[in-house]
Structure 1
Amino acid sequence: MQKTALVPYARLPRAHHTRHVLTSTVDVFGVAHWLLAEQAPAPRGVVRTFDALVVSVRPDGNVALTELSAVQARWPHLDRLPGGGFVVAAARARLDNAVNQVQIFDESGRETTAFSVGDAIEHMLVDEAGHLWVGHFDENPDGINRWSATGRRTWTSDYARIPGLLDCYALNVSGTAAWACPYTDFPLVEIRPGRPVKVWANTIRGAHAVAVHGERVAFYGGYGEERDRLAHGELTATSVEPTEAGLLTLPDGTPPRRRRVVARGSRIYLQAEPFTAWDVFELNG
């Protein structure tokens, strides 16, 4: 089976390797961010705020540091706001007893706003306009929603007629639009607020990331032996037509094992354990 190797993208500077990586992401402008703490989060049932450090690495290699005060989330999602500042969201509001599980921090690292978007966050990605796109997994039926940075819901999948939306397996946010591939039917969905949702039937099952470029699409992930599958397809008027499939590997050709992924437009970013480096697949390559 054909193998496609990821390309090195961003590295956490060695000076910060002694800290605990809580989470990491790549924002809509291509900047990589790590949320670091002095130690691992408190055990389940213990609610304790802590200070954290965000290390941001730009594509040109420049590094910026932002200290955040009184972070609440033990299993956080992180992203940067376009005008500066950060969003930290607790994936499990119910388990963390977090009434307002989304914290907005300004550029100096102080909390300015906190609100709730619902338990069981699978994805939380900020777009170029500063809106938060949140996709939930199957312990919360809220599906996909877009929120302002002040906690106002500005779009919901409730009436969008997305087939089989039980779990938002894959979410891609680029510009001000979002693409999704949800369980159980795995359609490819394009969401542009103010326009009708576009839906393409899709037979590629179980992907956890999707990249889109024009009429071309690539799905990463799957079930069982297909967990590292990279499947390509072409968009027709109503469906995704599969074209070829292979494996996505780390730059040295090895499988990723434990990893996290972020999809932005035509790119899929992948970070393998110990989560100190981001590599990238470019569909428009």
Structure 2
Amino acid sequence: MAADRPETRLAPYTRLPRAYHDRHILHSSVDAYGRAHWLLTERPPGPGRLDAPCDVLVVTIDDGAPHETRLTAVLPRFPRIEALPDGGFLLLGTRSRPSDRRQVQVFDAFGRPTHAFRVGDGVEHLLADETGALWVGHFDEGVYGDDELSAPGLSRWSASGERLWAYRPVPGTGWISDCYALNVAGRTAWACPYTDFPLLRIDPADALRVRRNPVRGAHGLAVRGGRVVFFGGYGDDHDRLADCRLTGDSVEVVAEQRLSRPDGAPLDRHNRIVSRGPRLYVQNGPCTEWWVLDLA
């Protein structure tokens, strides 16, 4: 961490009520409407997996009020959760073989499983937009594995399992090796992939805009108007904030800071990050709280 960087503190956002702290947290996320969700189980899972198809509890915090949804017949894998606009949820296993046709389980608003499909191995990011379309970014083991669904590195899917768009290089970009950072706002996605870390913008019509970017290794980003802030980096830059200005074809760094917890304590080197438009949500262990940086 650069000692001369000024500090920016995250703000408290929301937390899991203490009544649920005896449950085991499988995953947590923040959806397109700012609602936080925790996926909980009564028994600790085995390494990377639940013990068997079972029921799990989703606790949603919306404007400070908790709401429970019990999901039934969850498959025995260590899942990630994402909320859908219709009140339903989907659970995704990050690792998947081509023979696994139930990598993504979709549940209705009552917690009942409705259908399942597959999006490819090595999932790094899963974000639903305001229409329910799913943006999926992959890490290198998925991209370079023997899985055609993962090979593009970034794709958009319908909640019914149809692939709607997949990344292909355009002038100024190469293939994605690892989707380091992904932001979804409205129906627009922003991504910053390894190896050259260009800033990509995919609009609702699937038009891809590319900007050269000098910031390396960021795992989160927030965007508002002509401003983008990148969070994270390699080594001592794990808590770096790079505040940047967007030009026609490039990203220009204006200032660098370090990001800390609301009380000023340093962040862990490994954080759970959700990027949504002008907001960057950050979570450290034990993952009972979400903090936020809001450019607005």
Question: What TM-score results when the alignment is normalised by the length of structure 2?
Answer: 0.91
- Give the number of equivalent residue pairs: 282
Aligned residue number for residue 115 of structure 1: 117
CA RMSD of aligned residues (A): 1.7
Structure 2 matches for 1:1-285, cutoff 5 A? 1-43=5-47, 48-58=52-62, 60-72=63-75, 74-94=77-97, 98-141=100-143, 142=151, 143-158=153-168, 162-257=173-268, 258-284=270-296
Contact 1:170-1:182 within 8 A present in 2 as well: yes
Distance 1:134 1:277 in 2: 24
Structure 1 residue matching 2:141: 3-state secondary structure: coil
State the Cα deviation string for residues 22-65 of structure 1 (Å, max 9, x = none). 1101000000000111123223688722211110001x212110
* 1:125-173 residue CA offsets vs partner (Å, 9 max, x unmatched): 0000110100000012221111001100011103556435110000001
- In the alignment, the residues of structure 2 paired with residue 94 and residue 251 of structure 1 have an alpha-carbon distance, to the nearest angstrom, of 41
Task: After superposing the two structures, state which structure 1 stretch, 153-162 or 168-177, moved more.
Answer: 153-162
Task: Give the gaps of 5 or more residues in structure 1.
Answer: none
More deviation, 42-51/6-15: 42-51
Gaps of 5+ in 2: 144-150
2 CA distance for matches of 1:252 and 1:201? 35
With over 3 angstroms needed to count, the CA separation of the structure-2 counterparts of 1:147 and 1:19, relative to structure 1, is same
Pair 268,248 (structure 1): closer, same or farther in 2 beyond 3 Å: same
Structure 1 CA distance for aligned equivalents of residues 292 and 49 of structure 2: 36
Q: Determine helix, strand or coil for the equivalent of 2:229.
A: strand
CA distance in 2, matches of 1:256, 1:20: 22
Q: State how far apart, in whole Å, the 2-side matches of 1:29 and 1:45 are.
A: 29
Structure 1 distance, partners of 2:50, 2:25, is: 19
